[in-house]
Amino acid sequence: MSVNTASLFCNLVRMPSPSGKELNVAKFIKAYLKKSGMDSYFDGSGKKVNSSSGNLILELNGTGPTVMFVSHIDTVETGDSRITPIIKGGKIISGGDTILGVDNKAAVAALISALVELKKDRNHSNIVAVFSVREENGVMGIKYLKPRRHIDYAFIIDGSMPVGTFMTKALGQTPFEIELNGKQVHSAWAEDGINAMKAAGIIISRKRLGRHHDGSYVNISGVKSDAQINIVPGRTSLLGEVRGFTDRSISMRFSEIEKASKEACRLTGSTYSIIKKRSEGAPPFNMRSNTGILDIAKKAANNSGVEFKTGEVKGTTEANMLSKSGYPVIIMSRGGSMPHSNSESIRIEELDKLKELIISISRCAK
């Protein structure tokens, strides 16, 4: 028996699974796999990331190296209104007033279909399939993943580029706060005070914001001060974030922020400290080129008849977390269009291509 991936996808999107409330969908997947003769288990990450469910993990024996596929099961909807998928002209769309959930249930459906197919023989690598929680919001469940087996190659299935596109980089993100200290006085005694807001203004005007030549970004998003209007603020903070494809690029942006802060404080008499909130952000993902994972991706794409391409991601992804933990990892696109919107859709043909590509990777990696 082989799975009708489109109808499995429709069943999956009818079940709400906002971040943190994935248990119903996870149980459905577990039961579905069981029905096909495959036993899966939950890891203990649910408690750590404040979700009703941990990551659901399935191991399938084959030969040779172990390939891990990861597909998150949460979606961005609140779960308040039900999703009604509609099949129209070879395409699946939402009833109109909700998202569809292509991100990432298309990947979930394709992965399950592929597993059912792969289960039939051993002509494939060893496989670990992870149905992960909380990708869209909060601390990612994948951060706490501890597979029982050594993983040789990890494929994150996500993203709306065409199937066959593999992403080798994703921006890392470090939130920051620049704390500025002057001297607080009554506004009518301003000559005795130091207005910390002035330094904040100088930093904003001098530090280049937005995109930099190496694809990194600096954003300042907020100014924090609790002074009343009759107070010269003695303390203020600037809030923002730096994004970059490498640690080096992120630290270069921070040295520029440091320089602008130093200059602003020299001009105004304030002092500053920069707080980097690394644990609230994500490390950059930059695929190591010597792992062989790209060769497998290329060969598998050719074998399954999809056009092989590479790309990069501007958001932070599960690959950011996994590569930090030392896994040889790459992101493979799931397809579909207009994620996170009511116009989200996917062609049935794309679902089938994705399934074939997963199967092909498992065969090529052997």
Q: Which is nearer to Zn ion, 110 or 194 (CB)?
A: 110
Token pair, residue 90, equals 């070879």
Binding residues for Zn ion, total number by CB under 5 A: 3
The C-alpha angle 291, 284, 272, rounded to 5 degrees, equals 150
Question: Cβ 159 to Zn ion, closest distance in Å?
Answer: 7
Q: Which is nearer to Zn ion, 124 or 243 (CB)?
A: 243
Question: What's the sign of the alpha-carbon dihedral 74, 77, 80, 83?
Answer: negative
Q: In a 3-state reduction of DSSP, which class is residue 284?
A: coil
Q: In a 3-state reduction of DSSP, which class is residue 317?
A: coil
Question: Cβ 135 to Zn ion, closest distance in Å?
Answer: 6
Q: Which is nearer to Zn ion, 70 or 260 (CB)?
A: 70
Per the rule left: phi > 0, alpha: psi between -120 and 50, beta: everything else, 236 is beta
Q: Which is nearer to Zn ion, 94 or 181 (CB)?
A: 94
Give Cα 155 distance to the centre of its chain.
13
Q: Which of 103, 117, 318, 350 binds Zn ion (CB under 5 A)?
A: 103
Pairwise CA distance, residues 189 & 187, whole Å: 5
φ and ψ of 53, to 5 deg: -135, 150
Q: Which is nearer to Zn ion, 98 or 104 (CB)?
A: 104
Asked if residues 46 and 139 have their Cβ atoms less than 8 Å apart, the reply is no
Residue 318 in contact with Zn ion, rule: CB under 5 A: no
Residue 77 in contact with Zn ion, rule: CB under 5 A: no
Span interacting with Zn ion, options 95-103, 215-223, 224-232, 345-353, rule CB under 5 A: 95-103
Token pair, residue 355, equals 């399934």
Q: Which of 77, 158, 344, 356 binds Zn ion (CB under 5 A)?
A: 158
Question: Cβ 128 to Zn ion, closest distance in Å?
Answer: 19
Sheet containing 271-276: order of strands = 210-211, 217-224, 235-244, 172-181, 271-276
Residue 5: closest CA among 358, 359, 305, 351: 351
Span interacting with Zn ion, options 6-14, 150-158, 163-171, 279-287, rule CB under 5 A: 150-158
Q: Which is nearer to Zn ion, 233 or 339 (CB)?
A: 339
Residue 104 in contact with Zn ion, rule: CB under 5 A: yes
Span interacting with Zn ion, options 38-46, 155-163, 230-238, 356-364, rule CB under 5 A: 155-163
Site for Zn ion, rule CB under 5 A: 103-104, 158
